[in-house]
Structure 1
Amino acid sequence: MEKLMQYIWQHRLYRNSDMVTNDGLKVRVIDPGLLNTDAGPDFFNAKIEIDGHLWAGNVELHVRATDWKRHGHDRDKAYDSVILHVVGKDDAPVYRTSGERIPQVVLEVSPLFNQSYDRLVNARDEIPCAASLRQVPHLTITEWVEALAFERLHNKVERIGQLLELYHGSWEDVCYVTLARNLGFGINNEAFERLARRTPLRLLAKHSDSLLQVEALLFGQAGLLDAAAQGTDSYYQHLCSEYAFLANKFQLQPMERESWKLFRIRPQNFPYRRIAMLAHYIEGGFSLMSKLLEADGEKALRDLFTVELTGYWANHYSFGKPNARPSRALSDNSIDIVLINTVAPLYCACGEITGESRLADKAIALLESLKSERNAIVDKFTYAGIDSPDALTSQALIELKREYCEARKCIYCKIGHYLLSEAARSKT
């Protein structure tokens, strides 16, 4: 509740523009101050006119005035700088450590504001403001969507920066882990990243001249091989024997087979072919990051991920019975997802870290050139009134849904802020 009060105070959404303290002094807020996210009073450097006198100092907010004493502020000299105590309920006067009384006002808001806030945070709809979105100006939505797109991309860049530090500046290692993670396509992301971290490039590089050994290492480390399995084909048995030798040689420990999710997944999306695709890039030496940086345009990037698997995986979705309809390792839509979640963030991160701004521009241009993702999140926003013409927008909508709507952080969302501001200005 105090967070909401801070929000109301910070954005001047209170109803009583002509405030009066509990002892009858007129109050005018010139500057609400700067929100403090650390210990100490809630707002620093506020400017408040009280009974015609200008005061500069800090402001503290509480749901009840008695919280002042309950929190120990009456014994804490850090709160002696408070020039105004703002409360939801005035149930006691408050004092500094010296015994001097602090001016206190009750924060009043429009009943419509409270109703709007309750509707948003308690809405059953996955998008709390879905019924009100069309009331929000197009410019407000456009600016917020653009900001969210960069917010989501920046979060991915931060993750890549952490990987770069972990791998001591090796972009190929970072590219390998990032690609592996995104080959999980959401449902198996964590499992693929664990596989890549557990099977580092330096190990795979020692055997990159043998596709069978690379596949044995990846499938074995994934926990998808069982030498005791009955009725398996010769390829599978070769993988098992190769992995047993390599695991003993390098003291390897496989993942748990249960790490992988296969339930309700189409066969073409099984992790087996994704792992085989990863092995394809490692055979002969992994150099995908270099190829991404050299690629000129979307077509060149697509060509890098238009992979036709050979040998066993040319006509298998998993171990066992062959499939009568061999297919590419990734469909066009799957390539789009890889470009969105792997290539664009790598470009942006590399541009920011190396200072090559053209790469960051290249990342944005790529996202703008790709068609919008089609998923449940994007469809819900489209139905509510926000169109998604490209991948940059669909990424923004995913960020909005996951980081704001699901967390009901409506007061931190520009759309929610607009709706609450309009409600606060209501005279009813």
Structure 2
Amino acid sequence: MMQEAFLHHVWQFQKFNSLSLLSTQAEPIQVLKVGYHNAHAGADFLEAHIQIDDVEWIGSVEIHLKSSDWEQHTHQHDQAYGNVILHVVWENDREVHRHDGTIMPTLVVKDLVDTHLLQSYADFMAKPTQILCQGQFEEVPYIRKLGMLDKALLLRLEKKAHYIMEIFAKCNQDWEEVAYRLLAKNFGFVVNAEPFVRLAENLPLKCIHKHRDSLFQIEAMVFGVAGLLEVIEENDEYQQKLKQEFKFLSAKYQLKPVVEKHEWKFLRMRPANFPTVRLAQWAALIGRNANLFSLMIYFNDTQTIESLFNISTSSYWGNHYRFGKSTETKVKSFGKSSLENILINTVVPLMAGYGRYKNEPMLVDKAIAMLEEIHPEKNHILDIWQELRLPIKNAADSQGALEWMKSFCQTKRCLSCEVGLFLLR
């Protein structure tokens, strides 16, 4: 099936017979400059230079599978498309007009593209493998693969920065609250991320700050809002005391449980990753540090940021993984892999988002430098890349590889990928 991305490729690299081009109105067309591809809102190619009949135009080029897509997408009413000088289509099924009523100059390329190129593209896209180019991956120059890793990493950081700005808007533009909520999500480690987020949204950071001198009171608020003090385990005196304290604090701050106990996932988890343990660690961290955001953004070296997460929980959690069940095994503290997960998914996105907000590219560079010091992640997607001998030496590489798979391979955007372009040219 024909895709618009293929037409973008055809236009960008002029993969068609460009001699004696004619518009649908039989006007001679000469392409002097194709323009540059626009990845944002608006026309597909900007600052193109086209001669139509005897007039030279400088403006935008819009590309569609069918000419009627122009009106289907209501471009005729959008001022962002008022500068379009040429409409490039695969099929001309309808005459379309600009917002001022004039006919849109249209070039049909269906009969101008070499059939061998069409067949190569069709064969490539029809492959059943998750990574369409995996059979040819070793043919691609090493520098191309590294370039694509960098491109995918920057795209991933841009997405994370956008996500951070969404949280920023919800937090009334309070960066400390942003750090607090993002940290909560990542302490949930995917499985318990959603209840952790709900907890942070309903337990204001200002309440925590007012009780920074009492980890017991912070735990009472955390476990109380988390819904884990509703049912007291038999003979658990500590949980009973937390419940009594929460009763007082909930009345003072209008707090209430917002998560049901059954929503917390324990199944198939190592005890050190139980949500009760993570909640205790989170309580200790946010209680100990009043300015988490500033500490995470303006640290001087990796050792400084690592020391921030050297967490000491209350003594109860030294021999408990959950309420009512003590263990003779000492509960492990925050491990190296958990720390690196937080650095990758909390500290780095915060830097990227704040760098975008303040227009400080050096913060993005700092985020990338941090990723380059962290071990690469391990999961089944990265195993696939390793089998293809993609060099993944650190977390910057693994983050790029994950985004490469998600935004290019899984969506078959091969014509936006450096490797795909190399193979299809």
TM-score by length of 2: 0.81
Q: Structure 2 CA distance, aligned partners of 1:73 and 1:364?
A: 39
RMSD over aligned CA atoms reads: 3.9
Counterparts of residues 257-272 of structure 1 (less than 5 Å): 257=260, 258-272=262-276
Counterparts of residues 160-309 of structure 1 (less than 5 Å): 160-164=164-168, 166-167=170-171, 170-227=174-231, 229=232, 231=234, 233-257=236-260, 258-283=262-287, 286-292=290-296, 295-309=299-313
Deviation at 1:376, TM superposition (A): 1.8
Find out whether 1:4 has 2:8 as its counterpart: no
Give yes or no for contact 2:408–2:416 (8 Å, CA) kept in 1: yes
Counterparts of residues 12-91 of structure 1 (less than 5 Å): 12-21=13-22, 27-33=29-35, 46-49=48-51, 53-56=54-57, 59=61, 61-64=63-66, 86-89=88-91
Name the structure, 1 or 2, with higher relative contact order (CA <8 Å, separation 6+): 1
Q: What is the one-letter code of the residue matched to 1:243?
A: F
Percentage identity across aligned positions?
Answer: 34
Unaligned 5+ segments in structure 2 are none
Aligned to 1:407: 411
Q: Residues 68, 347 of structure 1: CA spacing in aligned structure 2 closer, same or farther, 3 A cutoff?
A: closer
- Write the deviation string for residues 319-370 of structure 1: whole angstroms up to 9, x where unpaired: 2322332232322111111122223333455556567776544433221111
Give yes or no for contact 1:199–1:221 (8 Å, CA) kept in 2: yes
Q: Structure 2 CA distance, aligned partners of 1:284 and 1:67?
A: 57
Give yes or no for contact 1:20–1:105 (8 Å, CA) kept in 2: no
Aligned to 1:426: none
Which deviates the most, 368-377 or 345-354?
345-354
TM-score by length of 1: 0.80
Unaligned 5+ segments in structure 1 are 423-428
Deviation at 1:205, TM superposition (A): 2.1
Q: Structure 2 CA distance, aligned partners of 1:219 and 1:106?
A: 64
Aligned to 2:152: 148
Which deviates the most, 282-291 or 373-382?
282-291
Q: Structure 2 CA distance, aligned partners of 1:113 and 1:365?
A: 41
Q: Structure 2 CA distance, aligned partners of 1:324 and 1:112?
A: 70
| Equivalent pairs, count | 418
Give yes or no for contact 1:28–1:49 (8 Å, CA) kept in 2: yes
Q: Structure 1 CA distance, aligned partners of 2:31 and 2:282?
A: 61
Q: Residues 58, 368 of structure 1: CA spacing in aligned structure 2 closer, same or farther, 3 A cutoff?
A: closer
Deviation at 1:252, TM superposition (A): 2.1
Which deviates the most, 386-395 or 160-169?
160-169
Give yes or no for contact 1:372–1:394 (8 Å, CA) kept in 2: yes
Give yes or no for contact 2:6–2:415 (8 Å, CA) kept in 1: no
Aligned to 1:127: 131
Q: Residues 93, 194 of structure 1: CA spacing in aligned structure 2 closer, same or farther, 3 A cutoff?
A: closer
Q: Structure 1 CA distance, aligned partners of 2:27 and 2:379?
A: 57
- Write the deviation string for residues 353-406 of structure 1: whole angstroms up to 9, x where unpaired: 567776544433221111211222222112123111111111111222223333
Give yes or no for contact 1:2–1:62 (8 Å, CA) kept in 2: no
Counterparts of residues 387-402 of structure 1 (less than 5 Å): 387-402=391-406
